[in-house]
Chain A
Amino acid sequence: MTRPIKYILLILFFILTFQKPSIANNISFEVDKISKNLRCLICQGQSVYDSQSDFALSMKKLIKNKLEDGKSEKQIYLYLKNKYGEWIVYDPEFNKKKFNIMDISIDFIYFWRPINL
């Protein structure tokens, strides 16, 4: 057996040993995850997760309640956007009206390419 084949077999062995792991999905983990993506409106620069203001503390509680009611992450974002506007989420959805930000980034790579190459 040649060396490359031996290595490929070993690699295959490794890939096969990847199993789908069980994910511990508890609510407080979800609350943290969601609140990291929300801007604390009265403290401007901080996220809800980082802030200790009354607004942020209440917001975290609200998120927890909503999750316990069985709402999904997306539904919660939508709910809050409806109440407070697009400004509250750190990861805005880009629809056609607002240009596609991914496209712009890719255009920029082209723009920045080293000259003459």
Chain B
Amino acid sequence: MISTHIGYYSLLLGFIISAILLFYSIFYFKKNNQKINQNIFSLLFFQFFSVVISFISLVYSFIISDFSNATVYNNSHSTKPMFYKITGTWGNHEGSLLLWLLVLTLFIFLFIIFSKKQPTKYRFLSIFFQQIIISGFFLFLLLTSNPFNFLFPIPNEGLGLNPILQDPALAIHPPILYLGYVGSSIIFSASLASLVQNNINKEWANHIKKWIQIAWFFLTIGILLGSIWAYYELGWGGFWFWDPVENVSLMPWLCLTALFHTVIVLEKRNLLKSWTIILSIATFTFSMIGTFLVRSGILNSVHTFANDPERGVFILIFLFSLILLSIILFFIYQVNESRLEKNFFLISKETSILINNWFMMYFLSVILIGTTYPIFLEVITNEKISIGPPFFNKLIIPFLILFLIFMALGPNLKWIKDSYKNTKYSRIFLFFVCIFISFYIVKKTSSEILFISILGGAALYLLFITINEFLNRKNNFSQTISHFGFSLFVISILLNSLFSSEFSANMKLGQELVYKKEQIKFLKIKSIDKENYKSIIANFEIKDEKKNITSLYPEIRIYNQPNILTSEADIKTTIFFDKFIVINLLKGEEIFNVRYQTKPFMIWIWISVCLISIGGIFSVLKKN
């Protein structure tokens, strides 16, 4: 009861501070203050602190199951385990936005601490732009999705949390993803500030680079965690489905990856200034578009858990005001750039980074169009269509071949000007050897044999080149490991999709089936009552040709609040294979539908993404 009051008023306080900061930052900016004074500093801290208080009081309301709070009532239940009471705080719309706000205020606070070497005016402006975003989110929370609404009369019991969200991954996936999303907001404000101050140069690039890398790192890890979660929880054994919500997280990632590379050109050569600014603006815009698409429920998705069109209108207006603001600023403060033609040579590192950008923008456009096209078509022609995996695979995978090749060649080029005369024939030879190897691997599997062997070959080629670079310590470590990770990523996905096998059948207790040299036996079944669900655990035994026995325990959970049935897969992971089994209750029968899959190199997909992000964190830690 009292915590709801505290939470609400500290949220209000945070908003007021935001208004004061907006005024102060522009006031001092005009006054040509030499230093950021202590006032601003403490205000920023207080703002962060008030959001922290507000967040903690919401967590507290969840912990004590205070159902006088509408958010708690809608998303919690007294029998829910303590861990999920806490994580459930951000497992809903209001709470997740409060978390978003928390990260926003944290980032600007840290930004001001770590940007002491930068010009004061630029720092004032960064605060100003960031406060526009922050106050927008404050308003959004207070007006449309207040987490501290009272309910009267006080209900005895809550409605419970969606069982799919009752998973340990809820504790880390959203916060880390938000660090990535929100991290892009600081890039947005900083780049607008430096645009207005006309201070886009090598030093600025060097300073903003770290923030880009941090945001990129968290976004990568956040997407990875989401993907792993979907893999074991949603019960289909897939890890990426080109679902709108997944696409929406990939769009800012692609933008940020492009920016990651472009900012290096700016740092080293003082080129591509306006392009860097555009990418910075676009990255945050795509994060916001993501929020809009997910939160408004405009799209059909398996991951959408809460939506409300009214909120959609607010985000939409807010989003387009930010876009409008940045476009206007971009036109007023145009960047004077030295003409690129004079400074760019066809064969150089700059060009290869530009090529990277082209690919990123192409992938981004495909995903953007594929995701939003159904909305456009429905509004214009009232027809409903679905755009799914086949569309994305068709438009993205062929371009991956070229992308991989450029990725292998690019980093070895010199800045400013290089020559193709340095090309070693052994490199070309290696490429064909790679294609040949991959041809022999995929020979018996697919119908598009030539295409897949070339794709696999290109990935292998990148793999060998990066290993070679690593051994000779030719390029910087972080870049090599990220590119190596990417090649491993493509190879693992390729092998995974080619050699996955699946078996689905209806089985009774005690039944035994043979599938591709493997014996699957349904041994036991038992049911256990847990805190807030009843669990039916089956025991399967899988005997392979070498008589190795694997025991698997898939589970069906019948939750009481809300009354929902979920299937929990059991996965046995080894270096080469994942054995994945999931069961479903068939209606009106005592038979279970059993789905058993072997998924090769699953673990390598996760490892490779970790390697990619390790590259990112190494660049952050690297001293200049």
**Chains A and B touch (C-beta atoms under 8 A apart):** yes
A-side residues, CB < 8 A to B, are 3-4, 7, 10-11, 14, 17-18, 21, 23-25, 32, 36-37, 39, 43-47, 49-52, 54, 57, 85-92, 97-98, 101-102, 104-105, 108-109, 111-117
Q: Quick check: B439 and A52 within 8 Å, CB to CB?
A: no
B254 to chain A: closest CB distance in Å? 11
Q: Which B residues are in CB contact (< 8 Å) with A43?
A: 302
B484 to chain A: closest CB distance in Å? 25
Q: Mark B348-389, 1 if CB is under 8 A from A, else 0.
A: 000000100110011011101100010001000101111111
Q: Quick check: B354 and A112 within 8 Å, CB to CB?
A: no
Q: Which B residues are in CB contact (< 8 Å) with A50?
A: 234, 236, 238, 241
Q: Which B residues are in CB contact (< 8 Å) with A91?
A: 387-388, 390-391, 394
Given known A-B contacts A4-B425, A50-B238, A105-B395, A116 and B339 have beta carbons under 8 A apart: yes
* A-contacting 9-mer, from B38-46, B197-205, B443-451: B443-451
Could you tell me the distance between the alpha carbons of A37 and B242 in the complex, rounded to whole angstroms? 12
Could you tell me the distance between the alpha carbons of A34 and B128 in the complex, rounded to whole angstroms? 53
Q: Which A residues are in CB contact (< 8 Å) with B429?
A: 7, 10-11
Given known A-B contacts A86-B383, A87-B385, A112-B361, A101 and B369 have beta carbons under 8 A apart: yes
Q: Quick check: B300 and A117 within 8 Å, CB to CB?
A: no
Q: Quick check: A52 and B436 within 8 Å, CB to CB?
A: no
Q: Quick check: A115 and B275 within 8 Å, CB to CB?
A: yes
Q: Quick check: B390 and A14 within 8 Å, CB to CB?
A: no
A60 to chain B: closest CB distance in Å? 9
A97 to chain B: closest CB distance in Å? 8
Q: Quick check: B428 and A7 within 8 Å, CB to CB?
A: yes
Answer whether residue B595 sits at the interface, using C-beta atoms and an 8 A cutoff.
yes
Q: Quick check: B361 and A109 within 8 Å, CB to CB?
A: yes
Known A90-B391, A104-B369, A116-B339; further 10 A-B contacts with Cβ < 8 A: A14-B436, A43-B302, A46-B236, A87-B385, A89-B386, A90-B387, A90-B390, A109-B361, A113-B361, A115-B274
Given known A-B contacts A21-B444, A115-B274, A109 and B390 have beta carbons under 8 A apart: no
Answer whether residue B547 sits at the interface, using C-beta atoms and an 8 A cutoff.
no
A102 to chain B: closest CB distance in Å? 8
Q: Quick check: B365 and A115 within 8 Å, CB to CB?
A: no
A108 to chain B: closest CB distance in Å? 4
Q: Quick check: B447 and A115 within 8 Å, CB to CB?
A: no
Q: Which A residues are in CB contact (< 8 Å) with B395?
A: 102, 105
From the candidates A4, A57, A88, A90, name the one contacting B389 in the complex (CB within 8 A): A90
Could you tell me the distance between the alpha carbons of A24 and B447 in the complex, rounded to whole angstroms? 9
Could you tell me the distance between the alpha carbons of A117 and B381 in the complex, rounded to whole angstroms? 37
Closest 6 pairs between A and B when the two form their complex, measured CB to CB: A90-B388, A45-B302, A50-B236, A108-B365, A91-B390, A112-B361
Q: Which B residues are in CB contact (< 8 Å) with A104?
A: 369
Answer whether residue B587 sits at the interface, using C-beta atoms and an 8 A cutoff.
yes
Q: Which B residues are in CB contact (< 8 Å) with A36?
A: 389-390
Could you tell me the distance between the alpha carbons of A82 and B502 in the complex, rounded to whole angstroms? 30
Nearest to A50 among chain B residues (CB) is B236
B270 to chain A: closest CB distance in Å? 14
Answer whether residue B176 sits at the interface, using C-beta atoms and an 8 A cutoff.
no
**17 pairs of residues in contact across A and B, judged by CB atoms under 8 Å:** A11-B432, A18-B450, A23-B446, A45-B302, A47-B241, A50-B236, A50-B238, A52-B593, A54-B587, A86-B383, A86-B384, A86-B386, A90-B387, A91-B390, A97-B381, A105-B365, A112-B358
B255 to chain A: closest CB distance in Å? 10
Q: Which A residues are in CB contact (< 8 Å) with B243?
A: 45
Q: Quick check: B373 and A39 within 8 Å, CB to CB?
A: no
Nearest to B236 among chain A residues (CB) is A50
A43 to chain B: closest CB distance in Å? 8
Given known A-B contacts A10-B429, A52-B595, A112 and B389 have beta carbons under 8 A apart: no
Could you tell me the distance between the alpha carbons of A7 and B425 in the complex, rounded to whole angstroms? 8
Given known A-B contacts A105-B365, A117-B340, A92 and B387 have beta carbons under 8 A apart: yes
Could you tell me the distance between the alpha carbons of A101 and B274 in the complex, rounded to whole angstroms? 29
Q: Which B residues are in CB contact (< 8 Å) with A98?
A: 377, 381, 383
Could you tell me the distance between the alpha carbons of A11 and B388 in the complex, rounded to whole angstroms? 38
Q: Which B residues are in CB contact (< 8 Å) with A89?
A: 386
Q: Quick check: A116 and B337 within 8 Å, CB to CB?
A: yes
Could you tell me the distance between the alpha carbons of A43 and B234 in the complex, rounded to whole angstroms? 12
Given known A-B contacts A14-B435, A105-B366, A114 and B444 have beta carbons under 8 A apart: no
Could you tell me the distance between the alpha carbons of A3 and B427 in the complex, rounded to whole angstroms? 13
Q: Quick check: B435 and A114 within 8 Å, CB to CB?
A: no
Q: Mark B431-444, 1 if CB is under 8 A from A, else 0.
A: 01101100100011
Q: Which B residues are in CB contact (< 8 Å) with A44?
A: 300-302
Given known A-B contacts A86-B385, A91-B390, A112-B364, A45 and B432 have beta carbons under 8 A apart: no
Q: Quick check: A39 and B428 within 8 Å, CB to CB?
A: no
Given known A-B contacts A52-B593, A112-B364, A46 and B302 have beta carbons under 8 A apart: yes
Q: Which A residues are in CB contact (< 8 Å) with B357?
A: 114
Q: Which B residues are in CB contact (< 8 Å) with A17?
A: 436
From the candidates A3, A4, A18, A39, name the one contacting B386 in the complex (CB within 8 A): A39
Q: Quick check: A112 and B365 within 8 Å, CB to CB?
A: yes
Given known A-B contacts A18-B450, A54-B587, A39 and B364 have beta carbons under 8 A apart: no
Q: Quick check: A114 and B275 within 8 Å, CB to CB?
A: yes
Could you tell me the distance between the alpha carbons of A89 and B386 in the complex, rounded to whole angstroms? 6
Q: Quick check: A109 and B444 within 8 Å, CB to CB?
A: no
From the candidates A21, A37, A57, name the one contacting B593 in the complex (CB within 8 A): A57
Q: Which B residues are in CB contact (< 8 Å) with A108?
A: 361-362, 365, 368-369
B335 to chain A: closest CB distance in Å? 9
Q: Quick check: A90 and B386 within 8 Å, CB to CB?
A: yes
Given known A-B contacts A10-B432, A90-B386, A117-B340, A45 and B381 have beta carbons under 8 A apart: no
Nearest to A10 among chain B residues (CB) is B429
Nearest to B391 among chain A residues (CB) is A91
Could you tell me the distance between the alpha carbons of A21 and B450 in the complex, rounded to whole angstroms? 10
Answer whether residue B272 sits at the interface, using C-beta atoms and an 8 A cutoff.
yes
